[in-house]
Structure 1
């Protein structure tokens, strides 16, 4: 199988390609196969009429004059082990609707893109300094029964209303089992037919772009399922999966692990990433389960893994693959973001590859997520013991360029939703608003799973819609105001990765369970800019006359109070303003007495921008 260095991309060199007047040309990589035949609707599935020939690279080809777009097909492969297997096409750009598993000859796209200005602007963007609020969506259950085109219209309207900047789609690459939520991929180049065609998906992306919303795809290169029609033992040998029995499987998921050290397999995956970003104009990929690729001993018991040549547990082949993946996508799709779901302390995940990093643009901060949810999920009397963990995430917020996720993983498997995990006896809606406010104030980009923005109470299930009829309008209004405020105020997003963009007000008040900090824009040191003071009361009692040090004297405006009545709160607050006076506190020359409503957040800004030495 030739590499990505050749002129034509892999999805144009392998797979099924219809040539008007000449039929369809088929090509499949199966280097150890004894024989390969393509069969399908064009020969009544006889598997005898169209044997293929093999070249020196192990690519089998033939042309079938009667094969037309829309016809289903498979490859019958006599493996090196003598076993006959019927396989779907790894490079198919269309697959049958599950539970059927054949590939389909793709028609030529008829879609006319309208997002040229969006792509041009994106190429010169600086995502690390721009606001990013990501709405994570499982397309089949956001509003059950919508296809790509219908979902596009409703999603665009809803996301713009909320103030989110991006939609992240849980995997829509074709997958045989819907209950895997797309994380056990059957076809790496075909979108799921459950919701429409490839052109319907293009419409979704184009429509969201027209409304100023970016689109990120959850992409799964770490493992693949063992379904007999798919990639496993493709030519009677471990072809896509690793040949080493100790590295062949991912024990957590009962799946195969890709052989990332095999050039052809790495090319296959990198071509898939480039395909989605270029052919569908996606604005980025969230790369699933990166840690499972990086560590040879990931989820493996002692004696069930083999160290590298240095005697350590780093997977050097995965490191090289990820660096090449990120560099290739960045070159092929300017401005597209690569986001790692990486759950360990691996150094330099978001450092440039030339500096020894992995080359991702952002990394999910899973530690932040677990620590914050542990705090708000504990009874108020026990929260002080979690406060230092939350403070740690703020102190180390610039170690990488982070996305702060409250994702689908946190609202399934008995964990409850953001609302239902709040302890009994607490004002649950107030705590959800508080949690969202902390997320949007904390340095880093934001990701929120669908339904949590309006207080969904039932755990998410992939086979039913969200409980829209139970929507808490106060939580939804607060979520929208937070997203809009985050986008409007440079201090809340511009210096996410710069230590100078954050400063403590107080992180040590465990008696009251109060956390306060400042956010600054990256121009602040030069121009004065706009400061935002963010103060959070994680206790269940209102705190009056709470003295806190401030960096600037004079009037400050209360620009957000999650206890406001319009959000469904109890209305305790500061009447829209406070006055910072010449009274030292918290090591500062100025301070103010403020009111902190129970289980709420308040944000303040100076009444006018002020230059501070």
Structure 2
């Protein structure tokens, strides 16, 4: 990364003779206590002591340049040498009727540099910014806090602003001051707890941190919580960043606001660093959209792209909530990837983790020396599962930090959806806690009322500001109203992961077919609550790690039966009410579980691989599932409407058969029949909702997918008029072993 950090003009001291030079009049010395606080970085208002201030007989100029040999204030072309006061302080009174622009000529190690003085400028945050921050309602907080390249009164530089209400003093340190913050103490902007400083000459690409003096006498160095860019881990500095990206997805964004939740949604879940290991954001922008288009997915869900120190956390322990991870490129490189996906017609969902954060001492933990982003009581702060800290959702500034962060990704990076991780751990005060290790709420209950209020505010704000964006809850309990609107006392999410369906259906599919008849309800129970929320059916990364095996290896039987089970299961899932999500590598039945270093097992698709045809067969099925799904409104328009689903037979436990029909809003049906036993069933009678020929639009036992071809290439089923199972007609069909078949009337 080649970027200047501080612009200045250097010249030999001999050149100073060209400047009219005279000593400035002596200035009244600082009281020792004030001077010590300033130099030690423990002063709340350094601008009151430094910079230019009217005094009797002129204007007092005081500068803090700890390594300087000489400092000259230049006013209207005349130089006035400031007297050394000790500890790097230089001061004098220059003849002027009022404060006027000036520069400083600073000599260090025999080199003279002309510099602007950041202490002559007014605060760069507006009164409105400070008011909104104080109330916790600044919905574009990133435009007030953090580092921002800007021009103030014709002078270029960077504003630094950070919230640290418990600090005794804050300084900014970076590669522009040799990582010594003595010369750059920040001012406190009143009761907001915000500290601010404009540093002239600091440009795009500068690395920095905040040096925070704690109340108990320590000095901490912290990365910027609002940094828009950061060093590649394990380095931890923040980086000044201003986006120069020119978006080209205007057509997508214009249409996004009109997209409804009843649109097709087939999501491919991706861990970007390992999908194609070694590729950057810009390289992924070529390969990922092309693959998604080839496979027919409508959306991609990115496991967390926010900056995180520990790669093996997969991004779920976030240190930089406003920065895309620098492992794969710059923030604008990530924008380029999102743009490319949009131009390919792919929606982008991002995993977002507001539940907790790691304890690294350079990041959010005890940010200003005391609990700030986390609750003070460890029974509320400590997350027992991950060794992290939970956010203090009851604090307005913390809630603002997170709500604005959600808006930031949707507005600044054009993200189309936020899948909120670990919602259950936020909602329950006793989550993974027992005995006396948790504190009840004000009413004595276990519900985290502050987290509820935060989630409602986040959802309401995102949906108001970003029409067309969807929020998705990973919530693993039966908390009521997760996708109910906030004005009806719901949490306000658009969708919820159906963890119950995932758990039950996988439990069933992992059983030997001979035992499945005893667990038939595990596949049918989901319909008892299918319309209580707006659901996504997830087969995510969580199911193929930590010794759980890949999806295909969860299935019983030999290799042929495992693949047949997986194919039948996927088609059952695609026909079941709810949006779809499938983790990378599972679309081609890779045999190994996911490894975050190596990613999907792509070599199994190559001709050289002994079973390549088997893997390509499953991949072709997923491709066809997505194609049929997108072109069949019955499979997605009725996801949240009970009228869009009807069981044909949900009690055929002895046969291991499940049959149901899906309808679109016009009543056009699609029938799904799954035979999850190992024996083919011939002349098996199935009720149908309409007379006339029905075409076979999908058969997971097709030889193209690696099946047995038991249907013999049959393309139609003709009912014989016999009413059956509550439907006006029926047909005798052949059900291949371990297979799902879809039927629909011919296109009208």
Structure 1 distance, partners of 2:522, 2:600, is 32
Matched, 1:85 2:220: yes
Give the conservation status (yes or no) of the 8 Å contact 1:440–1:482. yes
Structure 2 distance, partners of 1:475, 1:541, is 21
TM-score computed with the length of structure 2 as normaliser: 0.79
Deviation at 1:6, TM superposition (A): 6.5
Structure 1 distance, partners of 2:594, 2:710, is 33
- Alignment correspondent of 1:527: none
Structure 2 distance, partners of 1:6, 1:353, is 18
Structure 1 distance, partners of 2:255, 2:410, is 16
Deviation string 1:173-203 (CA, Å, 9 cap, x unpaired) is 0000000000000101000011111111111
Structure 1 distance, partners of 2:747, 2:366, is 67
Matched, 1:573 2:711: yes
Query: Among residues 655, 666, 669, which one is paired with 1:523 in the alignment?
Result: 666
- Alignment correspondent of 1:3: 132
Query: Among residues 400, 408, 411, which one is paired with 2:544 in the alignment?
Result: 411
Deviation string 1:44-79 (CA, Å, 9 cap, x unpaired) is 112322111112211111122242211111111112
- Alignment correspondent of 2:247: 113
**Structure 1: stretches of 5+ with no match in the other structure:** 525-529
Secondary structure (helix, strand or coil) at the match of 1:296 reads: coil
Query: Among residues 144, 150, 167, which one is paired with 1:33 in the alignment?
Result: 167
Report matched runs for 1:181-330 at 5 Å. Answer: 181-330=314-463
- Alignment correspondent of 1:94: 229
Give the conservation status (yes or no) of the 8 Å contact 2:411–2:466. yes
Give the conservation status (yes or no) of the 8 Å contact 2:139–2:400. no
Secondary structure (helix, strand or coil) at the match of 1:307 reads: coil
Secondary structure (helix, strand or coil) at the match of 1:338 reads: strand
Structure 1 distance, partners of 2:480, 2:743, is 35
Give the conservation status (yes or no) of the 8 Å contact 1:2–1:264. no
- Alignment correspondent of 1:593: 732
- Alignment correspondent of 2:27: none
Report matched runs for 1:136-147 at 5 Å. Answer: 136-147=269-280
- Alignment correspondent of 1:500: 643
Give the conservation status (yes or no) of the 8 Å contact 1:173–1:190. yes
Deviation string 1:544-566 (CA, Å, 9 cap, x unpaired) is 11112222222111110000011
Give the conservation status (yes or no) of the 8 Å contact 2:507–2:522. no
Structure 1 distance, partners of 2:461, 2:139, is 14
Deviation string 1:306-327 (CA, Å, 9 cap, x unpaired) is 2112221111111111111001
Secondary structure (helix, strand or coil) at the match of 2:306 reads: coil
Give 1 or 2 for the bigger CA radius of gyration. 2
Deviation at 1:346, TM superposition (A): 0.6
Cα RMSD over matched residues? 1.4
Deviation at 1:589, TM superposition (A): 3.9
Query: Among residues 563, 568, 584, which one is paired with 1:450 in the alignment?
Result: 584
Deviation at 1:7, TM superposition (A): 7.0
Matched, 1:537 2:695: no
Report matched runs for 1:435-474 at 5 Å. Answer: 435-471=569-605, 472-474=615-617
Deviation at 1:83, TM superposition (A): 2.4
Deviation at 1:543, TM superposition (A): 1.1
Deviation string 1:209-234 (CA, Å, 9 cap, x unpaired) is 11110101100000000011110101
- Alignment correspondent of 1:169: 302
Give the conservation status (yes or no) of the 8 Å contact 1:513–1:538. yes
Secondary structure (helix, strand or coil) at the match of 1:48 reads: helix
Secondary structure (helix, strand or coil) at the match of 2:655 reads: coil
Structure 1 distance, partners of 2:148, 2:726, is 70
Give the conservation status (yes or no) of the 8 Å contact 2:132–2:138. no
Give the conservation status (yes or no) of the 8 Å contact 2:137–2:400. no
Structure 1 distance, partners of 2:390, 2:269, is 26
Query: Among residues 142, 157, 162, which one is paired with 1:23 in the alignment?
Result: 157
Give the conservation status (yes or no) of the 8 Å contact 1:78–1:85. yes
- Alignment correspondent of 2:477: 344
- Alignment correspondent of 2:22: none
TM-score computed with the length of structure 1 as normaliser: 0.96
Structure 1 distance, partners of 2:630, 2:131, is 45
Deviation string 1:477-508 (CA, Å, 9 cap, x unpaired) is 10011011111011111110000000001111
Greater relative contact order structure (CA < 8 Å, 6+ sep): 1
- Alignment correspondent of 1:553: 691
Deviation at 1:244, TM superposition (A): 2.2
**Structure 2: stretches of 5+ with no match in the other structure:** 1-129, 606-614
Deviation string 1:409-457 (CA, Å, 9 cap, x unpaired) is 0000000011111124361111111111011100000011001111111
- Alignment correspondent of 1:430: 564
Deviation at 1:583, TM superposition (A): 1.9
Structure 2 distance, partners of 1:580, 1:3, is 67
Structure 2 distance, partners of 1:578, 1:513, is 21
Give the conservation status (yes or no) of the 8 Å contact 1:3–1:264. no
